[in-house]
């Protein structure tokens, strides 16, 4: 009788080794956007060098399993409609905020007892400036250092005229606007005007745009780091250990990218020669907050959270950050966003570090820390609420569909023993 033998099934515990993927959380969108290969039984072996190379680079071939055309079109349409919405919002936000930037109510400080300075400001016809009165010069100077005002106008005790103190590092364009607005009026009134810039931008950053573009690079790095991990290992950590590993990866990545930004703007391009360590820590905080915020949104709503993070950080955050144009140049809905969104907070923080010796940094730091804490709480809750909702079945190695029977070795026929000759009878 033939002896048919099969491989024993092996039970391999993969609950901890297989986190929930984006496909598990999003269904249609996850299946379309997550680079999870087909099971090995449905994949052709990588016999060719080019195929092996593309696989090593992260190339994912289209599913080889047969799919109806209608189903493919439905999945592709759902994904592209979402991308269309994000692209349209990007255009609408940037064009709407920046197409006709004009200054309105630009704050300039004066003291309550400086009659000459207040009188000159009242003479400005249709002025884009807004006068802010402080009880003494010390209060006005503090407001200038903390970027509550862009300039201070007071009486100059030396020239017996007026003195205009600017903070060009906050926004060089605004400093030029204030000077160009006040100087002609002072000249026509025959009032001597002394102009000085107490917080100028760096010589290699005359337009003051380096803080903004540095922050965009940091935020983009944190955003892409979180998204890459979500696509590769899943949107929700499987357990507390996996959460700690993910957060540890974010910290290491933020540390390195913050260092890269500080090196490029410092020794690399020679823009800033001081505050290297503080700028490095600033970059670490900015990158980490972006990564945690993105991961938190993705942990609850899957790859839809990737789009939401893009809306917060870039689509709305960039034009409302005050990086390209100061808040006073933006339309109403965007004027106050820089104080609430990470992009504006990070831009203000970099300016405070490099141009204002850390003055006014408390608010931006508190804002970025708050975003980081909210993200940590959200991803922690998602880990324990959603992390084990979709347990993955144990992998069981089954016998092949058409098992080949084992060859049965049969003994060769043995020759019959010779029979004894019959005894002779007499």
On the question of pLDDT at 65 being above 60, the answer is no
Average pLDDT over residues 63-69: 62
Average pLDDT over residues 345-358: 97
- Most confident stretch, 42-51, 317-326, 416-425: 317-326
pLDDT for 107 equals 97
* Residue 237 exposed, middle or buried by CB count within 10 Å (0-12, 13-18, 19+): buried
- For 162-192, write each residue's pLDDT tens digit: 999 999 999 999 999 999 999 999 999 999 9
pLDDT for 421 equals 52
d(CA 227, CA 81) in angstroms, rounded, equals 20
Average pLDDT of the chain, as a whole number: 83
Which sign does the torsion angle of CA 343, 344, 345, 351 carry? positive
pLDDT for 333 equals 87
* pLDDT-wise least confident of 56-70, 74-88, 337-351: 56-70
* pLDDT-wise least confident of 14-28, 90-104, 333-347: 14-28
Q: Band of the pLDDT at 27, cuts 50, 70, 90?
A: very low
For residue 184, how many other CB atoms are within 10 A of its CB?
12
Determine the number of helices (DSSP H) and then strands (DSSP E) in the chain: 13, 7
Report residue 79 as tokens.
Answer: 């994904």
Q: Band of the pLDDT at 409, cuts 50, 70, 90?
A: low
- For 251-269, write each residue's pLDDT tens digit: 999 999 999 999 999 999 9
pLDDT for 7 equals 44
For residue 251, how many other CB atoms are within 10 A of its CB?
15
Average pLDDT over residues 222-226: 97
| Size of the chain in residues | 426
- For 298-342, write each residue's pLDDT tens digit: 999 988 899 999 999 999 999 999 999 999 999 988 999 999 999
This prediction has a pTM of 0.79
d(CA 237, CA 248) in angstroms, rounded, equals 13
**Domain residue ranges of the chain, discontinuous segments joined by +:** 1-36+68-100+206-399, 106-197
pLDDT > 90: percent of the chain: 65
- The DSSP annotation for 276-320 comes to HHHHHHHHHHHHHHHHHHHHHHHHHHTTHHHHHHHIIIIITTTTT
Q: Which fold has domain 106-197?
A: D-Maltodextrin-Binding Protein; domain 2 (3.40.190)
pLDDT for 69 equals 78
- The DSSP annotation for 232-277 comes to HH-SB-SSHHHHHHHHHHHHHHHHHHHHHHHHIIIIIT-S--S-HH
Q: Band of the pLDDT at 157, cuts 50, 70, 90?
A: confident
On the question of pLDDT at 281 being above 60, the answer is yes
d(CA 281, CA 49) in angstroms, rounded, equals 44
Q: Band of the pLDDT at 364, cuts 50, 70, 90?
A: very high
Q: Band of the pLDDT at 116, cuts 50, 70, 90?
A: very high
pLDDT for 68 equals 77
Average pLDDT over residues 336-365: 96
Q: Band of the pLDDT at 411, cuts 50, 70, 90?
A: low
The position carrying tokens 């300016």 is 351
* Residue 96 exposed, middle or buried by CB count within 10 Å (0-12, 13-18, 19+): middle
Average pLDDT over residues 131-140: 96
């Amino acid at each position: 009788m033939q002896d048919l033998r099969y491989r024993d099934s092996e039970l391999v515990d993969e609950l901890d080794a297989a986190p929930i993927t984006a496909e598990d959380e999003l269904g249609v969108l996850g299946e379309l956007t997550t680079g999870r290969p087909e099971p090995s039984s449905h994949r052709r072996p990588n016999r060719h060098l080019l195929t092996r190379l593309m696989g090593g680079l992260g190339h994912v071939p289209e599913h080889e399993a047969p799919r109806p055309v209608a189903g493919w079109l439905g999945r592709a349409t759902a994904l592209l409609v979402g991308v269309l919405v994000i692209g349209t919002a990007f255009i609408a936000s940037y064009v709407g905020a920046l197409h006709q930037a004009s200054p309105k109510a630009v704050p300039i400080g004066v003291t309550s007892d400086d009659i000459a300075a207040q009188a000159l400001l009242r003479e400005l016809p249709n002025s884009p400036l807004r006068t802010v009165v402080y009880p003494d010069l010390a209060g006005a100077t503090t407001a200038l250092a903390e970027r509550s005002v862009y300039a201070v106008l007071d009486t100059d005790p030396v020239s017996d005229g007026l003195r205009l103190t600017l903070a060009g590092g906050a926004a060089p364009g605004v400093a030029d606007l204030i000077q160009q607005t006040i100087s002609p009026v002072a000249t026509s009134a025959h009032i001597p005007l002394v102009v000085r810039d107490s917080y100028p931008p760096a010589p290699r950053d005359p337009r003051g745009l380096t803080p903004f573009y540095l922050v965009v690079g940091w935020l983009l790095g944190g955003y892409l780091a979180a998204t890459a991990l979500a696509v590769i290992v899943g949107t929700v950590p499987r357990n507390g250990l996996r959460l700690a590993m993910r957060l540890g990866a974010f910290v290491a990545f933020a540390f390195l990218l913050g260092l890269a930004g500080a090196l490029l703007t410092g020794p690399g391009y020679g823009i800033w020669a001081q505050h290297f360590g503080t700028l490095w820590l600033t970059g670490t905080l900015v990158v980490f907050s972006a990564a945690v915020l993105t991961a938190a949104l993705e942990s609850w709503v899957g790859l839809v959270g990737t789009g939401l993070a893009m809306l917060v950080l870039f689509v709305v955050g960039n034009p409302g950050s005050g990086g390209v144009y100061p808040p006073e140049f933006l339309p109403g809905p965007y004027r106050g966003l820089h104080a609430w969104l990470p992009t504006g907070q990070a831009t203000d923080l970099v300016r405070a570090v490099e141009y204002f010796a850390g003055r006014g940094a408390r608010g931006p730091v508190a804002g970025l820390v708050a975003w980081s804490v909210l993200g940590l709480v959200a991803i922690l809750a998602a880990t324990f609420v959603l992390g084990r909702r979709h347990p993955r079945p144990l992998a069981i190695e089954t016998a092949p569909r058409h098992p080949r029977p084992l060859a049965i070795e049969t003994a060769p026929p043995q020759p019959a023993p010779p029979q004894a000759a019959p005894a002779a009878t007499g």
